Amino acid sequence: MQEELIQFDKNDVWELVPRPPRCNVIGTKWIFKNKMDESGNVTRNKARLVAQGYTYIEGIDFEETFASVARLEAIRLLISIACLLKFKLF
């Protein structure tokens, strides 16, 4: 755990900010895992700090969220236009 916290500090991962009014503070939780070699011996203990986002309340801590996903027809159309204009596709 200490290694992980040192890396957070070294990489400037987080910043302490004042709590916004009427917002909940989400908790954190440590997840532990042992890394094994081929013969099943523990070679390293790993720790990960994760946010407990399931404590958020919609409308208070966040608004509606969604993941935008392109429809297959839109992708085909863009590829067709790129081919028509002789663009290189990667």
Q: How far apart, in whole angstroms, are the C-alpha atoms of residue 24 and residue 78?
A: 43
pTM over 0.75: no
Checking if the pLDDT of 5 tops 70, the result is yes
Q: How far apart are the first and last CA of the chain?
A: 41
Q: Count how many residues are written for the chain.
A: 90
Q: What is the mean pLDDT of residues 2-30?
A: 83
Query: Given pLDDT bands bounded at 50, 70 and 90, which one contains residue 76?
Result: very high
Which amino acid makes up residue 74? Answer: A
